[in-house]
Amino acid sequence: MSRRHVIVVGAVLALAGCSATGSDGADRRTEPPLGSVPTMLRTTGVAFPLEAYEATPEQQNTLASAQNVLVDQCMARLGFAYRAPEQPRVPTTGVNARIFGVTDPDAAARYGYLNPAMANAETPPAQGKPPTQAEQLALNGKQDLKPGDLPANLEDAEKAGGSDVAFNGQKVPVGGCSRESFLKLYARKANEVDILFVFNLKGEAESKAREDSRVRAVDKQWSACMSKAGYTVSDPMRASKELGIQGDELSGTRAITAAKADVECKQQVNLVGVHYAATKAYQQQLIEKHAETLALAKEQVDSRLKLAATLTE
């Protein structure tokens, strides 16, 4: 057994054998069991429980294309030969690659703290000529609209009957074609689950996991390892900021050296395995707590995708 493997196993056993109160005083009786903590480092493609209730990156791109079609249909109804500009595509590779910071030794050695997805980002497609004043009004409605003026769902929008602006004998929807397209795809009825519901639950699970005594313990072990390597940092998710490495320096020589040490320390203490297990555990807790709402959210995602398929096929 290698020295590194001994360190990893020892760290996992130490975390599993903690008393009911963590080293930072947190009460572990309120924390969910982690089960078997995996030994892991790279996170590209790893799955989390709440992802089952939201659209995949590929599906998000389909929905974006469908929304553009709905914008075009609305604008045609108002008499405009308009084509909505193509939206930036959601990356479909490298999903979750940086959810726990830099974790890939090869990426750290090449890019330092710079996210490879940013380094290899495609150039946004060239936009056509800007919309005319009339098109802008049809697209977004009156400029003085406040958030409270906008219909919350398609049912409310249809009851309102549109704004007091008209083109081609047709009233412009309140908030314009952009708002109408959004409502038709994401908020057709008053009782639909907010499209940010799952996103917010993921954020809640992440926050709870970061405060978990077992996560805090492994973070401290990582910090001690980094200290031995000559770096004073305490938060593995903010290492580059704590080191003052930002902007163009993220992929510089100093960043690469620090990122390589960062990844090595994460591997030595199995930081990724503990963070992953804790995040999954808190997500599962929230799934059980919000099971009914999440079931509705999943049904609505499936319904949106069926509509999107009819628009983009």
Contact 311, 68 (CB under 8 A): no
Q: Residue 166 phi/psi, 5° resolution? A: -135, 150
Q: CA-CA distances (angstroms) from residue 11 to 215, 263, 279?
A: 12, 16, 18
Mean per-residue pLDDT, 264-280: 98
User: Cα(196)–Cα(62) distance, rounded to whole angstroms?
Assistant: 18
Q: Report which DSSP code applies to 196.
A: T
Q: How far apart are the first and last CA of the chain?
A: 55
Number of domains in the chain: 1
Q: Report which DSSP code applies to 301.
A: H
**pLDDT band, residue 274 (cuts 50/70/90):** very high
Neighbours of 246 (CB within 10 A): 11
Which helix H or strand E contains 186, and what residues bound it? helix 176-186
pLDDT per residue as tens digits for the range 152-190: 999 999 998 999 999 999 999 999 999 999 999 999 998
pLDDT per residue as tens digits for the range 91-142: 888 899 999 999 999 999 999 999 988 776 666 666 678 899 999 999 999 9
Q: CA-CA distances (angstroms) from residue 108 to 56, 102, 113, 154, 302?
A: 27, 7, 7, 47, 38
Q: Could you tell me the residue range of the domain that residue 76 belongs to? A: 3-312
Spacing of C-alpha 88 from chain mean position? 15
Q: Report which DSSP code applies to 166.
A: E
> Could you tell me which residue, 237 or 128, shows the higher pLDDT?
237
Contact 250, 114 (CB under 8 A): yes
